[in-house]
Structure 1
Amino acid sequence: MRLASAVVVAGALVAALAFPWAGGAGVLVQNSVTLAGELPAALTGSVSGNSRVLAADGSLIASFYTNDRTPVPSDRIAPVVKQALVDIEDARFYQHNGLDVQGTVRAAVTNAAAGSVREGGSTLTQQLVKQTLLETADSAEERQAAIEQDGQGGLARKLREARIALALEETSAKDEILTRYLNTVYFGQGAYGIQVAAQRYFSVDAADLTLPQAAMLAGLVQSPTNDDPITNPANAQVRRDQVLQRMYALGHISAAELTEISASPVAVAPGDPSPNGCIDAAIGGFFCAYLQQYLVQTLDIPAETLDNGGLTIRTTLRPDMQAAGDQAVLDQLSMGDPRAAMYTAVEPGTGRVLAMSVNRRYGCSAADCESIVLNTAYSQGSGSTYKVFTAAAALERGIPADHTLTTSNPYVSRVYTNNGRPYVVHAFAGGGKPTMTMEEALYTSSNPYFMALQDELGSVEGPVRVAERMGMHFTASSAEQIIGGNRGSFTLGAEATSPLDLASAYATLAAGGTQCDPTPVTAVLDRNGEPLTGPDGDPAGSGDTCTAGAVSPAVANTLAQMMRKDVEPGYPGQTAPAAYVPGHQIAGKTGTTQNNFSIAFAGYTPQYSASVMVLNPKTNQDVGGQGGGMGATIWHDAMLPVLTGAPMVPFPPADPVLAGSTVPANPPTAAASTPTHDAGGEAADDNGNPLGTNTPPDNGSED
């Protein structure tokens, strides 16, 4: 019965192919020549392999795939592999035009008589068409049509595949078709294509496969599960020997080769599957995860395209900066520490994200792992790093850097209240002078001065709007809620802050006031190496999104000169001398939040901007110290290898009007002062209460 059925089906197909003038299905074949311009796109370009994520220097960071496939050109496939496959699957491959009527009938009869698949019925070209249509099906209906076996549906499928096969043979050389087939077909063990199969079963490249290995792989095509040499070595040996016998019968191997190989069991040297996803990233796992989110959510690239499109994604990650950042955070906090240290670097003037380091491994489930991209998460505040926004708002009002205020300690706000009660702030541990200029108050981080300065501005709106223009986002509370509540704590940095936002905002100052949205991508190429276009027709991820004049160059340059004194040697009361790298101009600001639940440092040169935040992402914890300690130290250690040996790039001079009578920030000739981390009032809570002392709060929570 099985034999009769097979002969009937084969006969129906042969009749349709042999008599194209008979109408119906025959017309499909007769008109195959008109299909040359209608071949499925998946059969006209390069074979889609794993999407590859490349660092700025071209090195591989990670891959994304559903089907593990690495296409290789013809000259990187051992000739013996091609011969073995043709011999066992389609011996007349080089003679037919995509269809082999003689081979179809012979295979149907042989397989029916044997009760199992002994010979391939379809040509390699037809098999390639079927595999491609199945893989590229966009719906359940298309997938069902690609595998339909019975009745008119099965015959229609075969006729469609035959028609496309004829067209493919008209437009492609035989070796191109064979190479495409070998790069497409499934070999079992999750291996698609000959290169991945060679690695998976033998830990070698496709170019280095031997005759026994080639025979085994060629035999896997018909039944990759049943003949798997790893799980079913006996079956694999039988199938391999069938391939060898066929090669011998066709005169392509000698009797000695047949005898010698057949006497030996199959020998495998299994390799690992290709790395897949950010959990397997070679470097920068958190950057990789941020990139993946950016591609899908910002560039609107479907996740399926990312996994199956064979994309090449060129990124902004600098491996040298990533490695330096990784080491810097680990030098301060071990992988198992509940406190997380995040180092995030951005390029001013472009927004390119250069590094994202965390003392965690990305994506796994162990205690030292994390699946949230902490570099972009909004959890704790970043303390007095926000004072720069208040200073910028004051400078925009024409209040110069040498603006002098005398404040009491504690200082009672004239503008801000908390539930009707006075809003009181303290200098840290009673430190700081009562009379200061804005510049001195910024680099010594005086809480009373900046609350008095915010009083002069009359509202928190100015600092909030400056922060937004510089690149800050507020998620726990919107900017409108902060302004509507007139929260005096804004200048003290109580708002939940993303480390990436902080680095980006300070990059705006480094770029002379030009704000650039952070981006991890420089180009996205499709499987043919052409730019992938978005819904608007423009290349996805091309170009930087920058806004000149987010703050004026006068304000940006004046602030840089003011904040150099927080880092560079020679300024008593400065909070961040630990960040200084000799021979370079560096501006920065420290921050510490209520109860030391987080510490921060944001620093920049004209070429680099980077933030450091240290906090417990799971719960509130006193992380110890202030921003000028661990925060500034991590920044220094991460930037030291990058800046050492590089030429010094100076900041532009301060604006003469905005600087007032203040001398531009040039380090004094005197020796550097002894570090006095946060002595001027750096570590304050969101109410301005000093941290590290037993002084009770003067009022409740600002929020």
Structure 2
Amino acid sequence: MSAARRLATVAQLLAAVVLAGVLVAGVLFPVVGGLGVTARNSASLLDALPVELTDETPAGNTVVLAANGEQITGFYDENRAPVTGDRIAEVMKQAMVAIEDARFYSHNGLDVQGTLRAAVTNLSAGVVEEGGSTLTQQLVKQTLLQTADTPEEAAAATEQTLERKLREARLALALEQTYSKDEILTRYLNIVYFGQNAYGIQAAARIYFSVDAADLTLPQAAMLAGLAQSPTSDDPTVNPEAATTRRNQVLDRMAQQGMVTPEAAAAAQAEPITLVLGAPPPRGCVQATVGAYVCDFVQRHLTQTLGITQEQLEHDGLTIQTTLDPELQRAGDAAVLDTLPMGDSLAGMFTAVQPGTGHLLAMSVNRVFGYDVADPAQESYNLNVAASQGSGSTYKVFTAAAALARQYSQYYTLTTSDPYVSRVYRDQGQPYDVRNAGRYSATLDLSTALYQSSNTYFLALEDALGSVEEPVRMAEAAGLFQFSDPGLAQQIIDENRGSFTFGAQETSPLALASAYSTFAASGTRCLVTPVTGVLDRTGQPLLDAEGQPVVRGDQCTPEAIAPGVATTINQILRRDVEPGNPGQTGSRAYVAGHQIAGKTGTSQNNYSAAFVGYTPEITASVMVLNPKQNEDVGGFGGNKPATIWRAAMAPILEARGSGEFPPADPSVVNGNTRPVPGCGSVDACRSVLAGAGFVPQTQTVDGSAPAGALLGTSPPAGGRAVVGQVVTIRISNGSAYVAPAPQPAPAPEPVPVPVPGPALPPGFPGNPPSIPGLPTN
């Protein structure tokens, strides 16, 4: 041994001797005579323990659970999984005591004899082979270190001063007075660091051997006990020789102390270290086992809405109970990828919520949640929540509902030209007109126009309502704007955007699903919520600063939309999906045997396509679009979106079944309408329409009749309209009139020549007297 090294060892010995002599005195007296060292706190053993050493020792990992209890992921900085003493193998407890504190069961927290023995052993070996601290002292030190909230607190827990040692010793004695030996040992085994970011024996057993702490064998327990002193240098994954040597030292110590027989120790030493490395628990949303984008929404909800800090998530051992439906999530994932490959320029988003609760059920997209911007398949931005493109004619439901709420009835009939020019709305100062995407009957009622998705009818319906305010307020009542700028609805109203009914506004897939779920729930609006409970480390509801649970249940508003309006809309939208309805657009979403309502939508230039479908139990939207730039999606809402919806929902509906929608409300179906009377001229129409309580208004339109000729009314004669409503008298402008060709004069008929017959006697019955003005045979 070199002279310098021997001097260092002698110094350690002297320090140990001094410490051994003063520890007890330092605990009993506030001042250590001659040293001028004052304990930080009262020296009384009756002082209360710091909270860190009672019920605030490091908690386990925060776990995030799906609605069925399946673990999705966790949040943690240090991997911890505390277990009770009965879930730790007895051989593990013996191994730790043997190598770290042989007199553990006989001392009262301080071991003067052990300190001196360790000093002698270390001096003889020339290296530090034994620590002088008891397991109780080590528990104090590690607890204060691992619960430190500031760098200053962490430094105070490890500073090499006599003052810190005295405080540590006093707290160790107090711990021994408060807890049993088994409780102290269990707490120590749950806090000690074993390397590989594994804190505590359960985490270490899973990481190194893929077993629970209760199932550790003698060689495994000895290896883990050996890691406590130097988890880095004795790490078996990088230095198996050092780990083996240290393990064998533990086994020797166990045999010496009679914990195992020499033969058992020798047999264990003969075994090579055999690791069965386990993966650490999933950490964060990137590692979520299912529903990574739901996890992202959950995390933001916890920190931004419920006020739980990220620090709490990573260190407080919370249990987060989410609303995620894993089966629906996996079905949605598969459905999206069956239609659009992972990382395709087009993103397909399936987003589902539960009507009547607002519970977020699933968020699927052909992207992997991740932060590698160079990988087109990775995306950290939650596209299911983002509003990047419009959702087209899905917005027509809000205009239809507004009309029903105005008592227009589902039979409200309009006759429109194609294109139709609005008499109310303008497009940058110019007349606002729309065309239909396909061939439609000029005359439609509200029900047919909605499920067939006539553009011209719905602009005319907006005209009849007089402004866009009622459709926008209906959308607002349904919850469409809950993820938007708070002032957006009023801005649309102030600008009187006639395009509102055609879904030109950028729309969040989640908001779209949520709004339609209000109809599915017969008019009850619920804010989207992804969490049903947050439990603290003891399994009790986490409380806020006012002492109330941070999660206070669903946030729903009954009758946000009149129930009769909602149920009538549902029955109308069933015609868009279920068989037997000519002109329907969502038939590809149909799942046989189930009542399904839905609506398709496609934005201008086909930059996005959407389908929203729902049963009484699940509402799901599907949007397909390029989130980074405009791109033709190659179809309409009844194509890719409806196909994805069916693929996702079919296995769920077939496994679980579904309910039936309530019937339409007869008073809403019929509304406050009356028949539109017929009329034969423009002047006659003005008169009879006014007399029936309507407001007649003429409109010149393209027609094949002569200019000025009456083409009819809109709504037509026999249709239904609301009292006080404008009824348009449609007059031909003659643009398509073709005058008939002149007809040649008819040839004169030949004059018959009378042929004399036999004379009859006067008064004979076959020869009646002639009567002027009647045709004769």
TM value normalised by structure 1: 0.89
Read off the aligned partner of 1:437 and give its amino acid letter: D
Q: Which of 617, 620, 630 is the aligned partner of 1:610?
A: 620
Pick closer, same or farther for the CA change 1:162–1:396 going to 2, 3 Å: farther
Match of 1:31 in 2: 44
For 2:576, what is the secondary structure of its paired residue? helix
Read off the aligned partner of 2:47 and give its amino acid letter: T
Pick closer, same or farther for the CA change 1:619–1:28 going to 2, 3 Å: same
- 8 Å contact 2:57–2:143 — kept in the other structure? no
Pick closer, same or farther for the CA change 1:27–1:561 going to 2, 3 Å: closer
- 8 Å contact 1:39–1:167 — kept in the other structure? no
Q: Distance in 2 between matches of 1:46 and 1:142?
A: 15
Pick closer, same or farther for the CA change 1:27–1:545 going to 2, 3 Å: closer
- Residue 21 of structure 1, CA deviation: 4.6
> Is residue 568 of structure 2 the alignment partner of residue 555 of structure 1?
no
Which sits farther off after the overlay, 268-277 or 614-623?
Answer: 268-277
> Is residue 182 of structure 2 the alignment partner of residue 179 of structure 1?
no
After superposition, the CA RMSD in angstroms is 2.3
- 8 Å contact 1:45–1:528 — kept in the other structure? no
Within 5 Å, give how 1:472-483 maps onto structure 2. Answer: 472-473=480-481, 475=484, 478-483=488-493
> Is residue 467 of structure 2 the alignment partner of residue 459 of structure 1?
yes
Q: Which of 249, 262, 268 is the aligned partner of 2:256?
A: 249
Match of 1:404 in 2: 413
Within 5 Å, give how 1:529-678 maps onto structure 2. Answer: 529-644=539-654, 646-660=656-670
For 2:142, what is the secondary structure of its paired residue? helix
Q: Deviations over 1:421-452 (max 9, x none)?
A: 111111113x2111111111110111111111
> Is residue 93 of structure 2 the alignment partner of residue 74 of structure 1?
no
Match of 1:282 in 2: 289
- 8 Å contact 2:30–2:42 — kept in the other structure? no
For 1:34, what is the secondary structure of its paired residue? coil
Q: Which of 440, 453, 466 is the aligned partner of 1:445?
A: 453
Q: Which of 430, 433, 440 is the aligned partner of 1:424?
A: 433
Match of 1:126 in 2: 137
- 8 Å contact 2:26–2:39 — kept in the other structure? yes
- 8 Å contact 1:29–1:163 — kept in the other structure? no
Read off the aligned partner of 1:55 and give its amino acid letter: A
Q: Which of 129, 140, 150 is the aligned partner of 2:151?
A: 140
Q: Distance in 2 between matches of 1:105 and 1:506?
A: 76
Q: Distance in 2 between matches of 1:504 and 1:423?
A: 30
Match of 1:299 in 2: 306
- Residue 265 of structure 1, CA deviation: 4.6
Q: Distance in 2 between matches of 1:352 and 1:314?
A: 12
Q: Which of 495, 499, 523 is the aligned partner of 1:489?
A: 499
Q: Which of 76, 95, 98 is the aligned partner of 1:84?
A: 95
Within 5 Å, give how 1:70-469 maps onto structure 2. Answer: 70-111=81-122, 114-149=125-160, 154-263=161-270, 265-363=272-370, 365=372, 366-429=375-438, 431-469=439-477
Pick closer, same or farther for the CA change 1:261–1:21 going to 2, 3 Å: closer
Which sits farther off after the overlay, 369-378 or 82-91?
Answer: 369-378
Q: Deviations over 1:311-349 (max 9, x none)?
A: 111111112211221222122112242211111111111
Q: Deviations over 1:165-189 (max 9, x none)?
A: 3333233222122122112111011
- Residue 39 of structure 1, CA deviation: 3.7
- 8 Å contact 1:56–1:314 — kept in the other structure? yes
Q: Deviations over 1:80-130 (max 9, x none)?
A: 111110011111111122222322333345435545331122211221222
Stretches of structure 1 that go unaligned for 5 or more consecutive residues are 663-703
Pick closer, same or farther for the CA change 1:112–1:510 going to 2, 3 Å: farther
Which sits farther off after the overlay, 255-264 or 284-293?
Answer: 255-264
Q: Distance in 2 between matches of 1:21 and 1:319?
A: 60
- Residue 41 of structure 1, CA deviation: 4.7
- 8 Å contact 1:16–1:26 — kept in the other structure? no
- 8 Å contact 2:20–2:116 — kept in the other structure? no
Q: Distance in 2 between matches of 1:12 and 1:645?
A: 71
- 8 Å contact 1:28–1:159 — kept in the other structure? no
- 8 Å contact 1:335–1:368 — kept in the other structure? yes
- 8 Å contact 1:516–1:545 — kept in the other structure? yes
- 8 Å contact 2:605–2:632 — kept in the other structure? yes
Read off the aligned partner of 2:457 and give its amino acid letter: Y
- Residue 163 of structure 1, CA deviation: 3.0
Q: Distance in 1 between matches of 2:596 and 2:464?
A: 29
Q: Distance in 1 between matches of 2:547 and 2:626?
A: 43
- 8 Å contact 1:296–1:302 — kept in the other structure? yes
Which sits farther off after the overlay, 67-76 or 599-608?
Answer: 67-76
Read off the aligned partner of 1:595 and give its amino acid letter: N
Q: Distance in 2 between matches of 1:23 and 1:39?
A: 18
- Residue 45 of structure 1, CA deviation: 6.0
Q: Distance in 1 between matches of 2:162 and 2:521?
A: 66
TM value normalised by structure 2: 0.81
Pick closer, same or farther for the CA change 1:6–1:441 going to 2, 3 Å: farther
- 8 Å contact 2:39–2:167 — kept in the other structure? no
- 8 Å contact 1:11–1:105 — kept in the other structure? no
- Residue 504 of structure 1, CA deviation: 0.7
Q: Distance in 1 between matches of 2:355 and 2:166?
A: 59
Match of 1:684 in 2: none
Match of 1:679 in 2: none
Higher relative contact order, structure no. (Cα contacts within 8 Å, ≥ 6 residues apart): 1
- 8 Å contact 2:137–2:169 — kept in the other structure? yes
Percent of pairs with identical residues: 58
Read off the aligned partner of 1:32 and give its amino acid letter: L
Q: Deviations over 1:209-240 (max 9, x none)?
A: 22222111111111111111111222222222
- Residue 383 of structure 1, CA deviation: 0.8
Q: Distance in 1 between matches of 2:249 and 2:193?
A: 19
Name which one, 1 or 2, has greater alpha-carbon Rg.
Answer: 2
- 8 Å contact 2:53–2:140 — kept in the other structure? no
Q: Distance in 1 between matches of 2:275 and 2:458?
A: 71
Read off the aligned partner of 2:69 and give its amino acid letter: G
Stretches of structure 2 that go unaligned for 5 or more consecutive residues are 1-6, 32-37, 673-777
Pick closer, same or farther for the CA change 1:101–1:44 going to 2, 3 Å: farther
- Residue 363 of structure 1, CA deviation: 1.8
- Residue 263 of structure 1, CA deviation: 4.7
- 8 Å contact 2:422–2:431 — kept in the other structure? yes
- 8 Å contact 1:583–1:648 — kept in the other structure? no
- 8 Å contact 2:367–2:378 — kept in the other structure? yes
Read off the aligned partner of 2:376 and give its amino acid letter: A
Which sits farther off after the overlay, 235-244 or 15-24?
Answer: 15-24
- Residue 537 of structure 1, CA deviation: 2.3
- 8 Å contact 2:394–2:612 — kept in the other structure? yes
